[in-house]
């Protein structure tokens, strides 16, 4: 029994309780002050907290582990271990989740897919649409080189971007065609990376107040015909000749015309079988109705149709419009029918009225070609070259937009010079006015001094007179 009592008294709980009772008895014997009362309250609350901690039940074990701390606060070894233990599918899902984000561009805000094409190119802004897919401006991550990226959804029923990539590969090495940098699939997109080019001829036409001079039109005609000839040499038809598909280069190639957008291109000749495609009149329109040839509205297209579209394009450059522009109809099919009727009813003499005779000869030659007949490209290019020489023009690549820019810079320089001359004149006038004011102030000051001196002399004279009269009166 004594042993049990000794164990009881030696228990830490009992000792702590006895010490607490002794402190309370000692405190009752001491005088109670405000500081003593605060100290007692503090000790009592601490004692209650210790009792609560000792008798509290242990917490239940969580069924789910706690979330790890944020990645930036994890030690390096722990972060590496967690990355190694992360399932592979999770990383794949993160790499293949292509969300769109808003990015500001020159033409406003457009959703830009957040992807890195081929591990090299980051999309920056949207440029526009092509025949199929959308075109974006991108930057190379290694050397900051700017490129153009064309995207097409890989889920479309008839993807056209693979065909276009193949055509660019066929045309590789030709002058005036963008070089293909990369082609592949990124997530839900087919991607095609090309050289970045400058403005389209439609943009430049708007810049030049909706018409080109004869010199600019003839220089463009020579390059456009060269591009069409190279395409035909590779057994291909473009079938969508329009100003938006001809662009000027950038940098050292800013004077060169480039041909793009082969989404509607078609092979017209098979070197293996040595056969031309057959003529078929039951055919819908392929391309842009404004520049399409007469036969393209109802029949299969050939090389003659691309060349006829080039003729309409040149007339559009010189005049700024075509007679069948602005035609309205209830449906698109009716509109195409009215445009085809207008083309067939407009004689070439009226279409080329007021222009050099070479334009009429060009259009006449294109319309008299047979479907499978090979055009004489040299003859067509010589038509415009002879016209160029006969009009004493210089092939210096100074297009209208270049002249307008130079003229604008010259005008701005002259305006700055005139403004500087006006500023100098204004400064001279200000200095002259200041000198005049100074002279006037100086003369006024001198006149004031003369008046003061005259008044002083008069006062001295009067004083002397009064003094003389006073002396005379005293005598």
Residue 293: partners with Cβ closer than 8 Å, 6 or more residues away: 301, 304, 305, 308, 309, 312, 366
Q: State the sign of the Cα–Cα–Cα–Cα dihedral 405, 409, 412, 414.
A: negative
- CB-count exposure of residue 189 (10 Å: 0-12, 13-18, 19+): buried
Residue stretches of the annotated binding site for ATP: 150
3-state secondary structure of 262: coil
Residue 342 tokens read as: 């207008």
Catalytic residue chosen out of the listed positions 195, 240, 261, 305: 240
Partners of residue 135 on adjacent β-strands? 128, 150
CA distance 275 to 454: 121
User: What are the DSSP E strand ranges found in 172-244?
Assistant: 180-186, 189-195, 236-237
Among the listed residues 133, 178, 184, the one whose alpha carbon sits nearest the alpha carbon of residue 159? 133
Yes or no: say if 294 and 324 are a contact pair by the CB < 8 Å rule.
no
CA distance 252 to 82: 52
Q: How far is CA 135 from CA 113, 116, 141, in A?
A: 11, 15, 19
Residue 138 main-chain phi, psi, to 5 deg: -135, 165
Yes or no: say if 154 and 190 are a contact pair by the CB < 8 Å rule.
yes
Is 400 labeled as catalytic in the residue annotation? no
Yes or no: say if 381 and 222 are a contact pair by the CB < 8 Å rule.
yes
Neighbours of 473 (CB within 10 A): 7
3-state secondary structure of 129: strand
CA distance 290 to 264: 16
Yes or no: say if 303 and 314 are a contact pair by the CB < 8 Å rule.
no
Residue stretches of the annotated binding site: 150
Active site residues: 240
């Amino acid at each position: 029994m004594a042993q049990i009592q000794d164990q009881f008294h030696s228990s830490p709980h009992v000792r702590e309780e006895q010490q607490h009772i002794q402190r309370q008895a000692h405190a009752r014997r001491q005088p109670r002050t405000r500081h003593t009362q605060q100290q007692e309250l503090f000790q009592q609350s601490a004692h209650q907290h210790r009792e609560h901690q000792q008798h509290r039940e242990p917490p239940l074990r969580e069924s789910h582990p706690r979330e790890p701390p944020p990645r930036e606060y994890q030690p390096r070894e722990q972060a590496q271990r967690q990355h190694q233990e992360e399932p592979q599918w999770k990383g794949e899902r993160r790499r293949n989740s292509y969300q769109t984000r808003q990015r500001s561009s020159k033409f406003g805000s457009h959703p830009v897919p957040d992807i890195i094409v081929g591990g090299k190119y980051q999309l920056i802004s949207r440029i526009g649409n092509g025949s199929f897919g959308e075109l974006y401006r991108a930057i190379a991550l290694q050397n900051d080189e700017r490129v153009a990226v064309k995207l097409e959804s890989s889920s479309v029923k008839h993807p056209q971007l693979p065909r276009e990539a193949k055509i660019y590969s066929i045309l590789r090495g030709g002058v005036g065609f963008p070089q293909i940098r990369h082609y592949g699939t990124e997530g839900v997109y087919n991607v095609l990376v090309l050289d970045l080019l400058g403005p389209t001829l439609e943009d430049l036409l708007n810049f030049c107040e909706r018409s080109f001079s004869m010199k600019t039109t003839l220089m463009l005609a020579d390059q456009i015909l060269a591009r069409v000839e190279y395409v035909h040499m590779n057994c291909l038809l473009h079938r969508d000749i329009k100003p938006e598909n001809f662009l000027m280069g950038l940098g050292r190639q800013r004077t060169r015309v480039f041909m793009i957008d082969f989404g509607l291109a078609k092979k017209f000749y098979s070197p293996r079988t040595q056969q031309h495609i057959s003529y078929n009149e039951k055919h819908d329109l392929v391309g842009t109705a404004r520049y399409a040839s007469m036969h393209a509205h109802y029949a299969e297209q050939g090389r003659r149709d691309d060349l006829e579209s080039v003729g309409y394009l040149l007339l559009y450059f010189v005049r700024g419009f075509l007679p069948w522009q602005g035609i309205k109809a209830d449906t698109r099919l009716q509109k195409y029918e009215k445009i085809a009727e207008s083309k067939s009813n407009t004689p070439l003499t009226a279409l080329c009225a007021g222009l050099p005779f070479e334009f009429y000869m060009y259009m006449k030659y294109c319309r008299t070609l047979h479907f499978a007949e090979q055009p004489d490209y040299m003859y067509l290019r010589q038509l415009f070259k002879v016209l160029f020489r006969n009009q004493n023009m210089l092939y210096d690549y100074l297009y209208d937009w270049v002249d307008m820019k130079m003229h604008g810079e010259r005008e701005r320089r002259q305006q700055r010079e005139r403004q500087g001359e006006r500023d100098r004149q204004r400064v001279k006038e200000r200095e002259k006015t200041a000198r005049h004011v100074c002279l006037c102030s100086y003369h006024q000051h001198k006149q004031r001094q003369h008046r003061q001196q005259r008044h002083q002399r008069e006062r001295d004279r009067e004083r002397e007179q009064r003094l003389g009269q006073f002396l005379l009166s005293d005598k």
